[in-house]
Amino acid sequence: MHNEQIQEHFNNRNVTEADSNYFMVDIAPYPTDGWGKFKRVVKRSFRGELFVGLWVVLREMIRFNIHTVKYPEEKMPIGPRYRAVHEMKRLWESDTERCIGCGLCEKICISNCIRIDTKLDEDSRKEVTEYSINLGRCIFCGYCAEVCPELAITHGGEYENASDQREQFLIFQDMLTPLEKMKAGTQKEFEGFGAITPHEDERVKKTPLAY
């Protein structure tokens, strides 16, 4: 449908209009006398609805189209935008971590589950010394991934984080993409909240350096 049509459709809330999508359900009048009730019973009994039901379930049994996912062995595919346990990405060029220690994720975190501590290293660059996420508090809202200017902290697809205690901390080293994964070139970019949109390269404009 075109945009205008959708707009019109949403604006038209007049349920009495003939061409609207609302219609009265066709309910036959209930029988009041004995003979009418008897006729209804006969109709329902001999219309074979019971046998239709029997046939439907038997058909499904013969087709044997099983929909069960045997969970621990098989898993449903999850979307690339799924927001599960966080990941910390590395730069493709140098394999160093993307995180610059700006602390925005800690600031924006609405459940106060991120703690970041930084110091200046010998090159006077900020270095992350402590970074932990309390998964027991995290509500997986995705704000940290959205606010991250470097696309460093993202959500991953690991959703099996059941544990025997409420507090379960994730530290920087656990979240960081392993180096061997970088070497193999299999680090996956997050497509969800805060990620760059597709075809971003075509839309980006050069920084005017003239002035």
- Indicate the residue among 18 and 76 with the shorter CB distance to other proteins: 76
Bridge partners (DSSP) of residue 88 are 153, 176
- Answer yes or no whether residue 167 interacts with other proteins by CB under 8 A: no
Site for other proteins (CB under 8 A): which residue of 2, 67, 199, 206?
67
Rg (CA), the chain: 29
Applying CB under 8 A, the span of 66-74, 87-95, 102-110, 195-203 interacting with other proteins comes to 66-74
Report d(CA 164, CA 24) in Å as an integer.
53
Closest to 87 measured CA to CA, from 136, 137, 148 = 148
Site for other proteins (CB under 8 A): which residue of 31, 36, 53, 149?
53
Report d(CA 76, CA 97) in Å as an integer.
31
Site for other proteins (CB under 8 A): which residue of 11, 16, 65, 124?
65
Size of the residue set binding other proteins (CB under 8 A)? 15
Nearby residues of 200 by Cβ (< 8 Å), 6 or more positions away: none
Site for other proteins (CB under 8 A): which residue of 10, 35, 46, 64?
64
Site for other proteins (CB under 8 A): which residue of 1, 15, 28, 61?
61
- Answer yes or no whether residue 54 interacts with other proteins by CB under 8 A: yes
Report d(CA 208, CA 112) in Å as an integer.
39
Residue 98 near residue 72, CB atoms below 8 Å: no
Q: Which residues bind other proteins (CB under 8 A)?
A: 41, 50, 53-54, 56-58, 60-61, 64-68, 70
